[in-house]
């Protein structure tokens, strides 16, 4: 009988320890985002793992945008006047930068892969660029599926650049409807994402940028947004 009681006590203790471990590392709410100094140190550590001689350094944190309880977007300025951004994840009970780049061109960030409601368009560009607005596009190619014709779909989202030289905005709901119907990842994708930088006359503006140092620490799911020109649209 004593052995049975002892075994019950041991099982309960192990269960409590296991639950506490899972709660602490997986279920506990995320803590506050790191301060500017901590964020700069973390991002610099990533950028300088690229194996290049560039040795770019972050000078200032521009903002901190929490996408959800466990994901955040932190744009920054580098010591040479460039702009970039970092993506963060709450992992093992701490905030860690999952990726950082000094190429601030827009990408689609899939914070929670498979859940289009978590997808965001993220970018960080030099506000001195002579850009009036940014235009983002979802394009679904024409195709034949099971002998059925799928027409081209082209959707646009326009952002005023002066108000948003950097940003992490949710993919529009009408885009999510298309994304949810997309084919499996191992098949040829039908959906593409693109962007244009435009002047006040609606003409394309070339953004040169200052660098392309990038580093991914964890598996960071992103869709490339392709630079487009007017003649590529319908």
Mean pLDDT for all residues in the chain: 83
Please choose, from the candidates 215, 216, 198, the residue with its C-alpha nearest in 3D space to the C-alpha of residue 207. 198
pTM metric for this prediction = 0.81
pLDDT band, residue 7 (cuts 50/70/90): low
More confident residue, 187 or 1: 1
Q: Please compute Rg for the chain using Cα positions.
A: 22
The pLDDT of residue 152 is 86
101-139 pLDDT tens trace: 988 999 999 999 889 999 999 999 999 999 999 999 999
Q: What per-residue confidence (pLDDT) applies to 53?
A: 46
The per-residue pLDDT for 13 is 58
Average pLDDT (147-168) is 91
pLDDT digits (tens, 9 = 90+) for 179-204: 876 544 444 457 899 999 999 999 99
> Between 152 and 65, where is the model more confident?
65
User: pLDDT tens for residues 32-77?
Assistant: 999 999 999 999 988 877 554 457 789 999 999 999 999 999 999 9
Task: Kindly list the domain boundaries of the chain, sorted by start residue.
Answer: 29-232
Q: What is the mean pLDDT of residues 9-17?
A: 60
- The arithmetic mean of pLDDT across residues 156-170, rounded, is 96
């Amino acid at each position: 009988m004593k052995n049975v009681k002892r075994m019950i006590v041991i099982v309960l203790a192990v269960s409590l320890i296991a639950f506490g471990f899972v709660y602490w590392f997986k279920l506990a709410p995320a803590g506050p985002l790191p301060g500017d100094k901590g964020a700069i140190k973390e991002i610099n550590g990533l950028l300088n793992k690229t194996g290049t001689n560039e040795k770019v350094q972050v000078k200032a944190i521009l903002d901190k945008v929490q996408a959800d309880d466990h994901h955040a977007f932190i744009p920054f300025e580098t010591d040479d006047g460039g702009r970039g951004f970092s993506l963060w994840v709450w992992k093992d009970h701490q905030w860690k930068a999952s990726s950082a780049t000094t190429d601030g061109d827009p990408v689609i960030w899939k914070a929670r892969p498979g859940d289009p409601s978590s997808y965001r368009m993220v970018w960080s560009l030099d506000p001195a660029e002579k850009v009036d607005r940014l235009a983002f596009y979802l394009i679904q190619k024409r195709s034949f599926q099971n002998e059925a014709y799928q027409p081209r779909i082209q959707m646009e989202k326009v952002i005023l650049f002066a108000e948003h030289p950097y940003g992490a905005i949710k993919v529009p709901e009408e885009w999510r409807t298309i994304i949810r119907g997309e084919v499996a990842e191992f098949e040829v994708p039908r959906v593409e994402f693109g962007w244009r930088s435009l002047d006040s006359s609606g003409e394309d503006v070339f953004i040169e940028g200052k660098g392309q140092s990038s580093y991914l620490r964890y598996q960071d799911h992103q869709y490339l947004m392709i630079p487009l020109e007017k003649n590529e649209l319908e």
